Structure formats: C-alpha cells, structure tokens
Chains A and B, each alone.
Chain A
Amino acid sequence: MRMQRPWRNRFGRFLLILGGALLAFLAVTPGALAQVALPPAVSDQGDDIRVLFFVLLGIGVAVFVIVEAMILWVVFRYKRKSDDELPTQVAHNTTAEALWTVIPLVIVVALFIGSLVVLEDIQSAAEPGEDVVEVDVQGRQWAWAFNYAVPLGTELAEGLSEDPAETEVLLRDSSLVQPFMTLKLGVEHMRVMAREGDVVTVVRAVNGTVPIRHGRGDAVMRVFNGTDTVAEGRMQAADNTPIVTVPVGTMVRFNIASSDVLHAFYTPQFLYKLDAVPGRVQTMWVRVNETGEFKSQCAEFCGRDHARMIFSVVALSQGEYAEWFAAKTPAPAEPIEGDFGAEEEVEAEEGAVGNPVRGQELFFSLGCNVCHGDRGEGLVGPTIARTVVPLDRVIEQYRQPFEAMTAFPPEEVSDEEIADIFAWLQTVERPPDDLVIPSKLAESLEAGG
C-alpha cells in the first residue's frame, strides 16, 4: 500500500497553503508575534503566574501539535480504496485506553499541584512587620478612586456594632481627630462630622462596604484620596484617567471594593485581576518590581460606560514615591482642643437658600467627593467648587446627568438637599485656573449663553 502524500489532493494542498500563509503572516507582523504571549509582568506575583503560564503553554502547544497531527494523519492516510473494502473491526484496546486515561490524569494532577503552589504564593500577605502601602480601591460607575490609609495613632475605646444607624464612636484619644477627616475602621470609611469629648460622630462614607463589627482596641486609620488624574489618553465620557501611584519593591495591599455594581480591578502587567463586589472587600497583594505607567481597565461588565472605566498604575522608585506621598499627604493631624461640629451654630449667609454644613455632610455621604474631590476641586469629574452653573440647572444635572455622572432620583436626594450642597460648594475655595478640570456642562451653558 502506497502512502498518500498530503499535497496529492485538493484538501491537503489547501491546508498546506493555508498553514504557510498563516506562518508567513505571523512572521511579517512583529506586532502579531508580540501578542502570542502574556505581557511581561511587572510584579513578583505576576512573574510567578507567567512561569505557570509558560508551563501550560508548553504542554498545550505540544498536545495541540501532536493531536492535530494525529487527526490529519488518519484523515489523509486512511481512505476507502474500493466500495467493498472492509477495515479491521477492532473495537477497543484496554492497554491503549488505560494509557490515554492515565497519562492525561498524571499531567493534570501535576498541573493542579503546581497551580496550587503558585496560588498559595501569589495570595500570601506581607511578612509581619514589613512595610506595607495600603490602597483602598473603590470602583463605581464609571470611575475609580484610590484612597491611602495611614495609622492615626489611636484606637477604639469601645466596640462598634454592625448597626449602620450607629454614628457615634468612642476613641481612646480623639485629640487628633479633625473636622471632615475620613477615618478607617476595619474596612469601613467614616467621615467625621462632630466631636464631643472622645465621642466622635461620623457618617459612614460611601466606600462600598457593609458595616462590620469592630472590637475594642482596633486601630483607627486616617484616609486620604490619593487619586491622581491625567488628561492624556482620555476617553469619550471619562474626563480624566485616574491614576494609582505605588512604590517599587514595597508590598502594596489593594483593598478592592465597589459602591454600586460589579467591577474588576485589572492591570494586565500584574497578570492579575479581582472583582469589586458590592458588600465585600477583597485583598490583592502586589510587589511591583519595575517603574513605569501601566494602562489598566475595569474587566467586569458594569453598564453603559464600562469600556471607558480605564485607569493607570504608576510605579515610582522608593525615593520618588516618598516625595509624591509627602506632597499628597495632608499635613499630619494636629491635636485640636475642644469640641466641634453638630453643636456649632451655622451662620448661613444672608439670602443663601441652602445650609452649607448639611451640604458638606451630604457631599460626602452621597459620595460626590469620589469623583469631584474632597473640596469640589475635581478629580475624574470636573471642578465644581464655586460652580457657575445655576442651581436649577444643577438640580437638573442630578436628575438627568449630562455626561458620565450617576443620576440621583428625588427619593435619594431632594431639591432642598441639592441646594444645601450647592450652598456649601459656594463656600469652598476654587483651585487656580491651571488646575481647574473643565466642566462640559458649564462650557455648554457659556457657549449657549
């Protein structure tokens, strides 16, 4: 019996030409070749994942080549020669069947063990006592906020229940607590509204977590918004791309949360993603080992502007990071004597329609600060400090947003409450012109007269 050569029939020739064309195509497009593997990792964890990936790729390519070759071999080699040809009727072979059950089983068990080792490795936390940069990642439709937590130097004097209505916290020493500071207890962010003795009144800020129980002695941290923004590479609806800044070489703990729907924190060069699930906080440990800027984006479908929910990771050397951190950190908390907050009389400006103190409270409890910054100076959302947009148009903006803002129906925030926020925004300082993030709404109003 003469062996049939693949190029002897049309089917074979076609396949050969197709394969050749594909190879030629890959060879002439370096861009295409660069995409055949995962991007180079820039973190220790990513390096480990990449090793596992290449083990899988090696086995996968070998299996692919061998089995596809077997398929093509039997297709080209064994063709019916005459109409009354009857092939062997061998219907099973215990040895062969045992082999192709056991060999794959051994391979997958080995891969399973290898994967477990890598999994254990990439999920392990920092060593006790090791320096850790703690970043609270908050996803929301359709932007990111990155809050940094630093110890305040005090702790809970009494436990705090999980009742979300509870707003009074008793601290060991409340002298470092300042008005409108954000405290972190466990995973929760709480905005300071008032202080009376060591009792601090808070509103639970929107960081997408459920209240949890805290015990006496739990550390209290201070939180500040460390989201940088950049205007380049901006996409249609997002005014700015949020940036999270991290140091190289230090363990970074990302606490990933969502305040509305599912998102996923995904940086391709970390080779790692975790979902932001409302009501949960997930931890991702990353030790970045290369400086640079890494384009990232939300990887879990989250509604209309999911594709525009991009962000960047900027990794700085230790020295540069220390500088950035120092510039970003608000002045260290200074002890404040006496009480403040709720008891103080509000001196509303004459003719003002809203109550600015209530407005500030609402500004944080509704989460406006996440996009517009803690003083309306603008982050991923435009600058709204001392906005020129009239109140009635602002109310309309809450109800039916122009551009990518979350809509707020009247049952979530009333017209009066919007007036309060508006009133507070008229009391804050407007940043210098070169730092103003332009508002498309204000521009359109100006253009339209």
Chain B
Amino acid sequence: MATLAGAQTTGYAGVAAWRTILEWLTTVDHKKIGIMYLWAAGAFGLVGMAFSLVLRTELMETGTVISAEAYNSLFTMHGSVMIFLFLLPIGAAFMNYSMPLQIGALDMAFPRINALSFWIFLFGGVLLAMSFAVEGGTASAGWTAYPPITLDSGANAEKPGSGMDMWLIGVILLGQASIFGSVNFLVTIFKMRAPGMTMWRMPLFTWTTMVTGLLILLSTPVLAAALVMGFIDRNGAGGAFFEPSQGGQPLLWQNLFWFYSHPAVYIMILPAMGIVSDIFGVFTRRPIFGYRSMVLALIAIGLLGFIVWAHHMFTTGGVFLPFFMGATFLIAVPTGVKMFNWITTMWRGSNVFPTAMLFSVGFLMLFLIGGITGVFHAAVPVDFALHDTYFVVGHFHYTMSIAATFGFLAGCYYWFPKMFGKFMNEGLGKLHFWLLFVGVNLIFFTQLLLGLDGMPRRINDYVANPGWELMNTIATIGAFVSAAGMMVFFFNVFYSLKYGERASDDPWEGTTLEWATSSPPPPHNFDSLPEIRSERPLFDLRFGERLADDEHYHGHAPSNGGSSSKAGG
C-alpha cells in the first residue's frame, strides 16, 4: 500500500524513473519532504565536516598550510553550513517526518507551504555554496558576521566582495524557510491532533517541535531585519545602521543577531532533546520520568532563551551585566531537571541498548559537559577570561553541535526502519558510535584545555605559543577519528537501504503513534488509529492489560484519570 503510485503503470523503466523524480520534485507529502530535508542536511553536514578537517589540519602544528584568507573563509563557512544548513534543517527533517505521525495527523496543515519551505531552504543553501565562486571569494567574517568587518565602506581594511552579499541573502532565504516551517508546525500541532490526543498526551518530541516552532517564529524575523540592514549598509544605500564612521552602531548588529542566534541554539538542541526523550521512553519500557516537569522545563528553557542573548556580548561593554548573568545562570535549573528526569527514566528500567539508545546515552554524557562549561561562561568575571578562547569553542560544540548531532543520529537509527522499512546495520552503528564518541572528546576536551591556557579562537596560526601544539595535534587526530566514524555512518545508510534487514511496522516496540502504521507509512499516514488514553498509546495497547493491577500505571495519565476518551480509530 505504500509503494509509489505510478511506478507500476508503465513497463518502461526510463519513464518510471522520470516519474519518480518528478514525484519527489512536486511532492507535498510531509514524509517525503522530511526525507528530502534529511538528505540535503546530510550532504551539507558532510561539506561542513570536510571544512573542519581542513581547519584542523591547518591548526595541527604551527606554521601555515593554507592562506589566512582561505582559513577565514573556511571557518566562516564551517559555522554557517553546520548551523544554517545542517543542524537547523536536520531538526526540520525530523519535525516534518515524525511530528504529524506522532499526533495522528494526515499531513501538515499547509502541505504546499511545507514544500515551498524546503525549496527555499535548498535554494538558500545553493546560494551560500555558490558564493565560493564569485570574485573575492565567499564570506570570511565568521558565521556571526560582526560589522564592521562585513562592510566594504569606512575604515575596514578588508573590503569583502559580493560573497558577503550572497551570504546575507542566502541566510535571509534560509530564515524565511524556517519561518514558513514554524507556522506549519504550530498550526499542525494546534489544529490537526487526532481525537484523544490532548496536549498533555503529546509525545515529548512533539512538545519540543512546538516550543522550537515558537522560538523560530518569534526570533527569526529579528535576524531577517538585521540581515536586511546589513545588506543596505553594504550596498551604499546610506543605512548607517552599523557603520561607525556614519554614526552607526556595530553593537546593534550583535544585539539583533544574538536575539535570534541565542534562541537558535535551543532551536538546534530542543528537537534533539525531544528525540532522546522518546527513545528513552521506548528502550526502557518505562514512562518518561516527570513527563509534566519535562514539558515545563522545556517551556522554561524556551522563555529564558529569549532573555539571555547578551551573554554573548559580556566583553563588549555595552551590556547590563547583572541581568544577563542572572538569567543565564537560571537556565542551568530547567536543564538540570531534564538531565535528572532522563537518568531516572533509565533507573530501574528494563533497558536495551541498540545504536539509537547508545547515541541517546552519548547525548546525555556530552550534553552534561556542555552544560557545566556553560556555567563558567555565565559567571561574567570568568567569562572575561574565557570569552573568545577555545574554551567557548569546546563549550558550544559539546552542547549545540555534538550533543545535538548525537540526538539527531539517534533519531536516524530510531526512525530509519519507519522511513524505509529496513533496519540500519547494528554492527556498523556501534562502530560509528564508538569512533564518533572517542573522536569528538579528543577534539573538544582538548579545546577546553587550550581555552583555559588562553588560545583565542579564529586564529590560523600560533607561532608565538608553540606550547599549544600538543593539544592541537590531539584535537586534529580526534577530528579524523570522528570523520572516519561519520564515513562508517554514511556507508551504513547506503548499505542498509540496499541490504538492510527487513523491519516490521513496529520493530522497537514503540510507544507513540508513528509505530501504529505501516513502514513506510501510506501517503495518508494511517488506515486506523488506536485509542489514545495517555502519551503512550501503543504501550497501553501492548502492556495495558498486564499492568492493570499496577498502582503506578496510568497514575500519571494526567488529563482525565484514566477514564476513556473520545478515541479515534
């Protein structure tokens, strides 16, 4: 029932292939769009990783391999590609694919806008990639693009060329794609839930999708405004927004930029948190501990995320320090609540550890390091020492880059059978996990130490400090070990698509609705829906009778104390 329509209608293979391509190009099916996001994000992630290998090769020893200009362009594009073209869209990929299935919806609320969103994203990504080809090369002002180095007027000695304009326009387009996507997610969650799927019965991944959608919707327009202002400043229209010689304020950009980009780190990490929450719920056979406090912590993180942007600017002198320091410290509290809830879910659980679960445990271990190092930055005096050193590079990679990537990889292993009806190879998966886990710690723990020793970020050479060579060499080795791990992953994807073991519709004994339909699901998602009485409808179906006497079972079902709901089906 899930085969592609049209494939059988002709015996001529060329026409069939052409029709398949056309179908993917014109699809408005949230599952196909989600899978396209996944492929695109994966490809861009590979590009971003290749850039990082060049950067690490340059830093392995003192002396230079590539020019300073090339290094600056590459770290700019490493950040831009990884954030705008890998982490944000891979979150969108899973939110597209899984969220409508998890709430028992037919599709997204606005399927055509959903398709438009994907194609705008792809176009923006291609534009960024093409900026390498223009005269003067691509942007080289860092992914944060702080003026005045982005401006070709005023006292700036570097006059960035049209690559900078392409960067600005590309990111405007990517932001627009995000905004379209977020409206879609929100309306879908608010209006398209199946009967019985109350808010308090939504899977945690759906909750994170909702909070992420709100963050995108409220913050991205601010970034778009800043980007347009930057474009006006650059193109001689006399905006004088950021150019100091015309009375502009370079710090205005930083405020606007971080008003988006701090919430953006939660836009990247929250979906990953949602994925591992769902995975813990499945592979422990336990309800996620403190479901309601998980949701409240999520909302608290989202709210606090909007009032801490200036902690990126502590050393600029243009910030009211006590407020932003206090708000930043507070984020540790809801984050800690989530961490303890996850651990307690596994405590006394009936745990199994397929690759998806390994990556979820890896997420916890890495995210913890990121969280603790974040507290160092929250304390303003210590931040004065550590800001813009490799300590901050280590910190943010542990949180929003590596922990988030571990969450998303867990999602790949977890939902792959649903998407393609086949398992990913477990042996290769475990090899992937261990290579990546060891590799990223070699990279980023050494970077924490380098930062403590005072090595600033974004430098292409450190001739004056040969003592930093040892740690940098270790980090570079770690980068290649991680890359080897990712190669195993990409091989595994292609290998499993062709030779993977067939998976049943519900191979993991899932708890949420996406496992109640076929693998892969039909275009209309569901032929029938089970009764939804808790946030774990499939668990209730499988074990409900056995647990009828357990006083704790359903004790948590919050909305109407276990009385039957208007179930669909």
Enumerate B287-325 residues with CB–CB distance to A below 8 Å.
Answer: 287-293, 315-318, 321-322, 325
Among A61-69, A127-135, A339-347, A438-446, which stretch is in contact with chain B? A61-69
Residues in chain A near residue B449, CB distance under 8 A:
32, 35-36
Q: Indicate if the CB atoms of A115 and B291 lie closer than 8 Å.
A: no
Q: Tell me the A225-241 residues at the B interface (CB within 8 Å).
A: 233, 235-236, 241
A351 at interface, CB cutoff 8 A: no
Per the bound structure, the CA–CA distance linking A122 and B381 in Å amounts to 8
Q: How far is the CB of B81 from chain A (nearest CB, A)?
A: 18
Verify B452–A87 contact, CB threshold 8 A.
no
Known contacts A108-B332, A112-B325; decide if A304 and B69 are in contact (CB<8 Å).
yes
Give Cα A91–Cα B341 distance, bound, in whole angstroms: 10
Given A68-B368, A89-B553, is A56 in contact with B382 using a C-beta cutoff of 8 Å? yes
Cross-chain contact A271 with B325 (CB below 8 angstroms): no
- B463 to chain A: which residues have CB within 8 Å? 233, 235-236
Contact flags A300-318 to B (C-beta < 8 A → 1, else 0): 1111111110100000000
> What is the CB-to-nearest-CB distance from A78 to chain B, in angstroms, rounded to a whole number?
5
Q: Which residues of B contact A118 (CB under 8 A)?
A: 379, 381
In the bound complex, CA of A35 to CA of B394 (Å): 14
Contacts of B292 in A (CB 8 A): 92
Given contacts A35-B450, A303-B149, A307-B459, contact A92 B340 (CB under 8 A): no
Residues A48 and B379 in contact, CB atoms below 8 Å apart:
no
Confirm or deny: B148 has a beta carbon within 8 angstroms of a beta carbon on chain A: yes
User: Contacting chain A: which of B35-43, B211-219, B385-393, B402-410?
Assistant: B385-393
Interface size class of B (residues with CB under 8 A): 35 or more
User: How many Å lie between the Cα of A87 and that of B346 in the bound state?
Assistant: 10
Q: Which of B18-26, B154-162, B185-193, B521-529 contacts A (4 or more CB under 8 A)?
A: B154-162
B500 at the binding interface (Cβ < 8 Å) = no
Instruction: Indicate whether A90 reaches chain B with its CB closer than 8 angstroms.
Output: yes
Which residues of chain B come closer than 8 Å to A194, judged between CB atoms?
A: none
- Are A53's CB and B385's CB within 8 A? yes
Residue A247, interface by CB 8 Å: no
Question: CB of A197 within 8 A of chain B?
Answer: no
Expressed in whole angstroms, the Cα–Cα distance for A63 and B335 within the complex equals: 13
Q: In the bound complex, what is the Cα–Cα distance between A57 and B325 (angstroms)?
A: 18
Are B158 and A141 in contact, with the CB atoms below 8 A? yes
Q: Which of A96-104, A177-185, A381-389, A426-434 binds B?
A: A96-104
Query: Contact at B453–A91, with CB atoms within 8 Å?
Result: no
Q: Give 1 or 0 for each of B453-491: 1 = CB within 8 Å of chain A CB.
A: 110111111111101001100000000000000000000
Residues 149 to 180 of chain B near chain A (Cβ within 8 Å) = 149, 154-159
Taking a contact as CB atoms under 8 Å apart, the answer to whether A49 and B333 are in contact is no
Q: Does B461 contact A278, Cβ atoms closer than 8 Å?
A: no
In Å, the complex CA distance between A113 and B385 comes to: 19
Cβ contacts under 8 Å, A81 to chain B: 350
Interface string of A263-283 (1 = CB under 8 A from B): 010101001111101111010
| Interface presence of A322 (CB below 8 A) | no
Contact of B552 with A303 in the complex, beta carbons under 8 Å:
no
* Contact status B156-A48, CB under 8 Å: no
Evaluate whether A235 and B158 lie within 8 angstroms (CB atoms) in the complex, with A71-B365, A87-B348, A111-B375 already known.
no
Stretch binding the partner chain, chosen from B7-15, B100-108, B412-420, B543-551: B543-551
Query: How many A residues are at the interface, by size bracket?
Result: 35 or more
Q: Among the listed stretches A147-155, A254-262, A329-337, A356-364, which one makes contact with chain B, having 4 or more residues with CB under 8 Å of it? A: A254-262
CA gap between A112 and B287 in the complex, in Å: 35
Q: Which of A80, A115, A302 has the most CB of B within 10 A?
A: A115
- Residues in B neighbouring A353, C-beta threshold 8 A: none
Kindly provide the distance from the CB of A56 to the nearest chain B CB, expressed in whole angstroms.
Answer: 5
**Whole-angstrom CA separation of A295 from B546 in the bound complex:** 69
Per DSSP, chain A at the interface is mixed
List A contacts of B438 (CB < 8 A): 18
Interface residues of A in 365-420 (CB under 8 A from B): 406-407
- B155 touching A91, Cβ below 8 Å: no
Check if A100 sits within 8 Å of B350, measured CB to CB: no
Task: Tell me whether A352 is interfacial, beta carbon within 8 Å.
Answer: no
A275 touches B375 (CB 8 A): no
Is B142 a contact partner of A301 (Cβ separation < 8 A)? yes
Task: Name the segment of B109-117, B243-251, B268-276 touching the other chain.
Answer: B243-251
A401 CA to B315 CA in the complex, in Å?
Answer: 32
Q: Are A52 and B381 in contact (CB under 8 A)?
A: yes
Contact indicator B380/A278 (Cβ below 8 Å) = no
Is the beta-carbon distance between B361 and A71 smaller than 8 angstroms?
yes
Are B250 and A260 closer than 8 Å at their CB atoms?
A: no
Name 25 interchain pairs, CB-CB below 8 A, sorted by A: A18-B438, A32-B471, A46-B385, A49-B385, A60-B376, A71-B343, A79-B350, A90-B286, A90-B289, A92-B292, A101-B333, A114-B379, A115-B380, A116-B325, A235-B464, A260-B156, A273-B388, A300-B388, A301-B457, A302-B149, A303-B149, A306-B72, A307-B459, A307-B461, A407-B157
Given contacts A88-B348, A235-B464, A274-B384, could you give 7 more A-B pairs where the C-beta distance is less than 8 Å? A35-B471, A91-B288, A96-B340, A115-B379, A277-B316, A297-B459, A303-B156
Query: Chain A interface (Cβ within 8 Å of chain B)?
Result: 11, 14, 18, 29, 31-32, 34-39, 46, 48-49, 52-53, 56, 59-60, 63-64, 67-68, 70-71, 74-75, 78-81, 85-93, 96-97, 100-101, 104-105, 108-109, 111-112, 114-116, 118-119, 122, 141, 210, 233, 235-236, 241, 259-262, 264, 266, 268, 271-275, 277-280, 282, 295, 297-308, 310, 406-407
